[in-house]
Each structure stands twice: as C-alpha cells, then as structure tokens.
Chain A
Amino acid sequence: MAFLPALPRKYHAASIWALYVIGLCPAAWYFYQAATGCLGFNPVKTFEHLLGIWALRLIIATLAITPLRDLFGINWVRYRRALGLLAFYYVAMHFSVYLLLDLQLNFGAVGGDIARRPYITIGFAALLCLIPLAVTSNNWSILKLGQGWVKLHKLIYLIAVAGAFHYVLAVKSVTAGPFIHVALIALLVAYRFVRRPILTWKRSRNGQPVRAAGR
C-alpha cells in the first residue's frame, strides 16, 4: 500500500540523476554567496557549518528510507545510494573548507585539532568511516561483497551518531537547530532496534509476508 502515486519505471534513472543535481544545489548556492560576499562577515565558518548541517540532513534522509518503506509503504530505496553519496560529498566538502579556507593548510593545527579536540576527533573518524562506504557504493561491490557489504554498510549508524555528537559538541549551547537534527538521528537509529518486532507485528496483522531486505 503506497500513499504516493508510483513513479513510472522509465523515469527512475532520470529521477536519481535529478536528485544528485538538486542535492548539490545548496553547496553550489552557498559557495556562490560566499564567493560574492553575501554570506555574512565570516563566510568561511558559515559555509563550513552549512555544509556540515547539510551532510547531517542527507544522512538523516538516508536513514529515513527504510522506515518510510516499512511504516508508510513508500519505496524510495532507489534513492538511498544517491543520498548516502551526497552525504559523503558534503562531509568531504565540509572537511576541505576547514582544511583549505579555515586553517589554510596549517597541518600542524589540523593535526592538533584532530588529536586534542574531541568533537574534531569524532568528526574526522566519521569522515574516515564514510570513505569505505562511498568506495563500495557501486553494484559491482554489492555483488562481490555479498553479506559483507550489508555488514560494512551498517557503519552508517555509527557515522550518524558520531555526526550528531560532532554537531552538539561544536556548538556553545544546544538550541532548536542542533536538537532537531540530533533527535531525528536518535529516532532513526533507535528504529533499527525495534524494526524486527514491528515488522513481525505488521505481518501477523496483515496476514501477509513483509519484505525485510535492506536496512
């Protein structure tokens, strides 16, 4: 049962490419604003923070795909890879801005930050964890790795939690913005613990099997 009209199959590929283009729009727009002096008086920090927040939003969207299908019958699994890769691109841009524009390739300062500042340590660890996921996001890797791929990609839960910590530890006080992002991540990760019982219950209620593939 779907609440949304199904997109004809012939448009699937195009819609995925459109998602990549739309997903990169915020970064392009903020970059344009920053480069033209329209992003306030601390454009580097503002741009850096916006990229980080969008990375978290894309991770949230990635994690939302499975519950959307389980609970609402909306099957957007075809967009999950694009969302995950976009999240990786945003994290990579977030780090690049920090490295190039904020600390201006002062590797001593970068090393010191990563070693001594817990929120940067956590953020950097999350970035490193995202790399194998991005590298193995192709069909060939999925076929080659089999169950190993499924296990490897469970890293996204750890990455999402790390991203949430990174955000909360970076701000001076937790206001609505950080709270909402962190709450959504907590909710989506927590869902994984109750997913089996929920699916079992739905199956028994409907008297029909519910597919449980994918996370």
Chain B
Amino acid sequence: MPAYRPPQIAASEITPKTIYMSRRNFIGAAAAAGIGLTFGGEALAAPLTAQPGPYKLNEKLTPKEAITTYNNFYEFGVGKEDPSQNSGAFKPTPWSVKVEGLVGKPKEFGLDEIMKMKLEERTYRMRCVEGWSMVIPWIGFPLSAILDKVDPLGSAKYVAFETVVRPEEMPGQGGLFQALPWPYVEGLRMDEARHPLTILAVGLYGETLPNQNGAPIRLVVPWKYGFKGIKSIVKIKLVEEQPQTTWKNSNAREYGFYSNVNPAVDHPRWSQATEQRIGEGGFFGTKRVDTLPFNGYADEVASLYAGMDLKANY
C-alpha cells in the first residue's frame, strides 16, 4: 500500500480561515497601512499561498493550535509551551540565508527571494524522538531547488545547517543553564538533502511560519526524527566530511547522525515502537499508534540506505 494518496484537498481549503490573499497583496496592504514588517511573533504570521504539492496524507491534520503551542525549540526554553510563550521578541525579518562551502556560486538569499521560490503545500507526518507525532500541512519548497542555484561541486558530500544565535531574542541561548551548545547545527548526506521529500518550509496551515515553529525558514525531513528539522536557518554549507550535529555531539550514544525513524531501534532510554498523536484522544483516551519504518516513507527513501546496518547507523 502506498504511503501517500494523490492530492485531494489543500489543507488551506479546509483550514478555518476566512480570506486568503497572496503574499504580495499582503505586503502591499501592510505597507499601505504603514504597518511594515517589524512585528515579532504572531503579528507576523501572514497568509501564504502555495500550490498543492505531490505529497499528501490521508490522515487527520493535527490542530493548528497544537502545532503552534507544543514545540521543542530549546533556543526558547525546554518546556513544550516555552517556544510559543518566549518567542514574541524574535524578529524573523529581515532575514537571509548564506549558502556556501563546496559550491560554484556561493550566495546569500534574502527572505524576499526565498519567498519567491515555487511554494508547495506538503502534508507530512512529524515524529519526535520523544515518542509523539503530528500531521502537519507545511508550505515550502524542495531543498534541492536552492542547492541547484549555487552549483554544488562534485566534492560536496554533505550539507551542514546552522540556526541563528541571538541570545537577546532567544532566552534559551542565555542564562546559567543552557540546554545545548549554540548554534544548533544539523546535517544531511547529499542524497538525503536532494531527495524530493526534503523541503525547506516557510509556512504551515496556510500562513508564514510562527516564530516557535522555526521562522522564517526551517528544514523538514519527514522520515527522520523531528530534531533533524533545524529551525531558523541562517547558513547552509556544502562540505566533504560528515558535519557536526547538535544532539549527536550532546549524546552520541543516544542520537546518531542519521536519526531515521525506526520502530525496531529503541532509544536507549525509551521505546520507539509506538507514538502518541498529539491533539487526539485528550486526557482519558490518549491515541497511540504504531511507529512505521522511516515514518511511513520507506517506499520513497529506504533505497537511500540499501546495504546499511540501520542499528549501527541510528
């Protein structure tokens, strides 16, 4: 049975949202009203139009409120509600992403240019390494589209990503107890990075990304545990050696470079066989479902790891 169904209804159409304008209209209207784009947090979430993408799930979407208030984004604190509560001062505009390293044409992409990429809506499962999951209607574009613009060299074997460091806007990056060393860094093998499922997301539920979800641009790799989806990206570097990744550096026994969703390989401290669907079932009837190999995307990506020992390369 295929993991996906062909596109049916765009999530934006079933989202309880009254009017959808194009981003251009919004910016024009905002400028006309003298608002500008200097707001942080919710104020910035703007309607975003996108074509329905090729990947669609026949599963119930996780409510938007759950997706935007139950987050792991340690730059804003380690509690699930910390990112939504502590990210109000974060400024996702102006923004730019440097793409450099082993490329023919290194380039710094401004947010305006990024938002002009061909945006698609993609509904993906998101499986957190902690044992919970969501179904999220992202808006974004394939990572390969931006890689194509910088002429990767043949020697580039991996892609390294880096999150912004702004202790003054991200309370988790300051203070006495910091959960992780900053900047948060992640990486993918080149074939993983170029896989059509791998996207850079700039929105969800028909709007630009809220700060707590990694505004203004984040990685989404649906067959890997959620922490691979690095948020608020400022740098993408093509490299020859396997790059450093934050959670592996923090605890290599528990978190590997690949971190593919795998119910057969338990986290040393908890089982990965099942997952809890956030926002479903409530207090007295938590919904637990079986975790699927590669988070249900095995048909598309299992071949990337042919011949590899997935227990050793967790």
Contact = CB atoms under 8 A, between A and B. Distances in A.
A119 B69 CA distance: 28
A35 B283 contact: yes
Interface residues of B, number: 31
A131 interface: no
Interface in A169-210: 169-176, 179
A112 B179 CA distance: 29
A175 B279 contact: no
Interface in B204-227: none
Given A173-B179, A173-B180, A175-B78, A37 B278 contact: no
B208 to A, nearest CB: 22
A152 interface: no
Interface string B61-99: 001011001100010001011000000000000000000
A175 B69 CA distance: 20
A44 B70 contact: no
A41 B286 contact: no
B282 A43 contact: yes
Given A40-B69, A40-B81, A101 B278 contact: no
Contacts of A118: 269
A43 B274 CA distance: 18
B283 A37 contact: yes
A173 B283 contact: no
Contacts of B180: 173
A169 B178 CA distance: 17
Interface string A24-50: 000000000011010111111111000
Given A35-B283, A40-B69, A47-B283, A175 B179 contact: yes
A29 B270 CA distance: 29
Which of B66, B81, B266, B269 lies at the interface centre, i.e. has the most chain A CB atoms within 10 A of its CB? B269
A37 B66 CA distance: 12
Q: Give the dominant DSSP class at B's interface.
A: loop
Contacts of A150: none
Nearest to A33: B283
A141 interface: no
B283 A44 contact: yes
B4 interface: no
Contacts of A109: 271, 274
A169 B269 contact: yes
Contacts of B175: 176
B250 A173 contact: yes
A42 B284 contact: no
B81 A170 contact: no
Contact of A41 (B69, B74, B271, B288): B69
A42 B283 CA distance: 8
B288 A104 contact: yes
Interface string B29-57: 00000000000000000000000000000
A46 B266 CA distance: 22
B51 to A, nearest CB: 30
Interface of B: 63, 65-66, 69-70, 74, 78, 80-81, 130, 132, 175-180, 250, 266, 269-271, 274, 276, 278-279, 282-284, 286, 288
**6 shortest interchain CB distances as A-B pairs:** A41-B66, A176-B177, A41-B70, A173-B179, A43-B283, A175-B177
Given A35-B284, A172-B130, 5 more contacts: A34-B283, A37-B282, A42-B278, A101-B286, A173-B179
7 contacts: A43-B282, A46-B80, A101-B283, A104-B288, A117-B270, A170-B269, A173-B250
